[in-house]
Amino acid sequence: MSYVQEVFETVKKRNPGEAEFHQAVEEVLESLAPVIERHPEYAETGLLERIVEPERQILFRVPWEDDQGKIHVNRGFRVQFNSAIGPYKGGLRFHPSVNLGIIKFLGFEQIFKNSLTGLPIGGGKGGSDFDPKGKSDREVMRFCQSFMHELSHHIGPDIDVPAGDIGVGGREIGFLYGQYKRIKNATEAGVLTGKGIPYGGSLARTEATGYGLVYFLKEMLEDHGHELAGKTVLISGSGNVSIYACQKCQAYGAKVVAMSDSNGYIYDKNGIDLKVIQQLKEVERKRIKEYLNYHPEAEYSENYRGIWNIKCDIALPCATQNEINDKEAATLIENGVMAVAEGANMPSTSEAIKLYQDHKILFGPAKAANAGGVATSALEMCQNSMRLAWSFEEVDQKLHGIMVNIYRSIKDAAKEYGMEGNYVAGANIAGFQKVAASMMAHGIY
């Protein structure tokens, strides 16, 4: 058994029942086999054994009171995975599906995604099995205050900098930051990113993940002689990433015909009316089926995964992990898809990715294609450190440059190790190299 296989078998044995974490580790380790062959010192110093084990895992109780006076208890998580190149950086996810294995998978992915940005940020992730849907603002506030009461002991501008993720938007970040200030008796704006503009947030942060995804997609397409303009696009999800990916695709002349939520998907052959989606999701917090009230000519289906049956040129999965399996990938390929770029974290199963690669579909893996959000979070940290604010245009320009550089770095890394065109391997290798060099320089700890 090879060194890489031994490490993976150990991961499975020590982390039973954590399928998403196993999936993420396996994908990375498979890509790193040729790197380990070229650098035997990594095996000699147990570098892979260290990189797959979080530096710290924090699990805590979060009691809170609802508007009827009933007490609820949720679990809070923070996994501080790797700080070799900078403070831990990664979002908080509030969703009933959250468990330790999912947080570890997200934190592990974050190590390499953050490295790819070229900015000094390590990898971490956190969250809770709390569901903000259907809760009043006061209930969400009370939960966030209880959550931050414990989390505040483990974070700081130079230690660990959380941000938002699924279920954690501007409202939640505001409540979390207010409680942090209250506990610390200090204005440490750099402790959280995704903040509101009036109290230290960055312009373009809201748009960053969706915009960055499309900047990456456009660079990948043009590098292979294609244009984004005129292409038909499917985008799963209807949250922050999906909305701004749609906006940027439309700005570049592409036609987005379908979007979804956890209940179903909407198909509008005339092109999605993004203002309606924004009104429903960002203002009214309603289900996507309400789109029909504005555009009765559109079609709605309750099976949200059915979105991948629609014929398209480009698919942008922006909802959640493992939303495209091998069957759905085969359908996309049969219907003529030419490119897939991931806006969500690990939305394609390993079997789906293999099909993309076997059929020469251009594929932008999540840790590269959706890195724009965390890159702009790091730019927010920079602005907080310098006590200044950049314009929207300045931040957007920096974001565009980062995404172009990410594409070029993963392309070059794949080519260097004899896997030209394999951007999964390229992303894993390029992200790993910087972290590995830093870990080697720091000694064994």
| 266 contacts 299 by C-beta, under 8 angstroms | yes
DSSP H/E element including 316: strand 314-316
Three-class DSSP category at 124: strand
Structure tokens at 55: 């530096």
Closest CA to 100 of 205, 193, 14: 14
SS (H, E, C) 142-202: HHHHHHHHHHCCCCECCCEEEECECCECHHHHHHHHHHHHHHHCCCCHHHCCCCCHHHCCC
434 as an active site residue: the answer is: no
Rounded Cα gap, residues 132 and 304, in angstroms: 21
Q: Is 377 annotated as a binding residue?
A: yes
113 a known binding residue?
yes
Residue 440 has a CB neighbour count (10 Å cut-off) of 15
Q: Does 269 carry a binding-site annotation?
A: no
**What's the rounded Cα separation, in Å, for the pair 247 and 233?**
12
Is 164 annotated for ligand binding? yes
Task: Please return the burial class of 338, using the count of CB atoms within 10 Å of its CB with bins 0-12, 13-18 and 19+.
Answer: middle
The radius of gyration of the chain's CA atoms, rounded to the nearest angstrom, is 21
122-128 and 71-82 as β-strands: parallel, antiparallel, unpaired?
antiparallel
**Which residue is listed with tokens 């007490």?**
71
The reply, when asked if residue 193 is annotated as ligand binding, is no
Q: Which of 209, 216, 249, 214 lies closest to 378, judged by CA? A: 209
Name the active-site residue from 104, 125, 218, 231.
Answer: 125
Has 126 been labeled as part of a binding site? no
Report whether 110 belongs to an annotated binding site: yes
The CA-based dihedral angle spanning residues 116, 120, 125, 126, taken in that order and rounded to the nearest 10 degrees? -150
Q: 346: part of which helix (H) or strand (E)? A: none
Question: Which residues sit in the known binding site for NAD(+)?
Answer: 209, 240
Active site residues: 125
